[in-house]
A = this chain, B = another copy of it.
Amino acid sequence: MKTVIVYSGGLDSTVLLYHMRAAGHELHALSIDYGQRHRCELERAAAICAQLNIPQPTANLSAIQPLLAGNSLTSPEIEVAEGHYTEETMKTTVVPNRNMIFLAVATGHALSIKAGQIAYAAHSGDHAIYPDCRNEFADAMATAIALADWEQVQLSRPFVNWTKADIVKRGAELAVPFAKTWSCYKGGKLHCGRCGTCIERREAFHLANVEDPTPYALRRRCTHRGKPEK
């Protein structure tokens, strides 16, 4: 089915790209520039799509960044916290209503190009972290998306009950080039290895028993609790 994937160039959405491609869908990978600090993910997304010969339109929403102010991903004055996520540190990384905005634009684009489906890579590991990755949120959005137009668009979220380790396992089966994906919220030259998203990435490889090919700026072994050893 012709499908618009919300595609960041991160680990989860890259595995989703390979997963949906393996299922035979005709993919359009929609990337979103929302003024994120880690814009390098967009270059990773472009490179991976070019290699797979998948169209990769980019929605430039950076002009609305000031309206969504107050988070560390788009506000340079707010630091990205290090260490495993706590409720407080993860809240600082929330771009308000990011997933609804992305899904809304993806649905608009799907209607415009007559695609019957959109997909995003919400997964169960995100649930505690981001309310807009929960199953209930995805269900409500699926209902709204199906009602938004004369043409019905479906919302696919195949990983919504998977852990990040499950995603890494699936990615390994599909020979996803993990080293080319980008997770780190700091947006440096290498993954920092210490922010919440880097720690979760390292932990997922560890739990999946898959070798992590990511070059980290600070290479410390990650325990399954996600806390780097001293």
Binding site for B on A (CB under 8 A): 30, 57, 59-64, 67-70, 91, 94-101, 103-105, 107-112, 131-132, 134, 136-137, 140-141, 143-145, 147-150
Which of B63, B109, B136, B148 meets A147, CB within 8 Å? B136
Q: Are A100 and B104 also in contact (CB < 8 A) when A109-B68, A137-B147 are?
A: yes
Most chain B CB neighbours (cut-off 10 Å) among A60, A68, A136, A147? A147
Which of B96, B105, B107, B150 meets A149, CB within 8 Å? B96
Interchain Cβ contacts under 8 Å between A and B, 21 examples: A57-B67, A59-B63, A62-B63, A64-B108, A94-B149, A96-B107, A96-B110, A97-B105, A97-B149, A100-B107, A100-B108, A100-B144, A100-B145, A131-B147, A131-B149, A136-B147, A137-B144, A137-B148, A140-B143, A140-B144, A141-B144
In terms of DSSP, what is the predominant structure of the interface of chain A?
A: helix
A95's nearest neighbour on chain B, judged by CB, is B108
Enumerate chain B residues within 8 angstroms of A141, measured Cβ to Cβ: 144
- 9 additional A-B residue pairs with CB within 8 Å, beyond A64-B108, A97-B148, A103-B104: A59-B64, A59-B67, A68-B111, A70-B112, A95-B108, A96-B110, A100-B145, A101-B108, A131-B150
Enumerate chain B residues within 8 angstroms of A96, measured Cβ to Cβ: 107-112, 149
A145's nearest neighbour on chain B, judged by CB, is B100
Enumerate chain B residues within 8 angstroms of A57, measured Cβ to Cβ: 67
A44→B140 CA distance, assembly (Å):
35
Enumerate chain B residues within 8 angstroms of A68, measured Cβ to Cβ: 108-109, 111-112
Which of B63, B137, B140, B145 meets A63, CB within 8 Å? B63
Which of B60, B107, B131 meets A97, CB within 8 Å? B107
Enumerate chain B residues within 8 angstroms of A91, measured Cβ to Cβ: 150
A132's nearest neighbour on chain B, judged by CB, is B148
A187→B110 CA distance, assembly (Å):
27
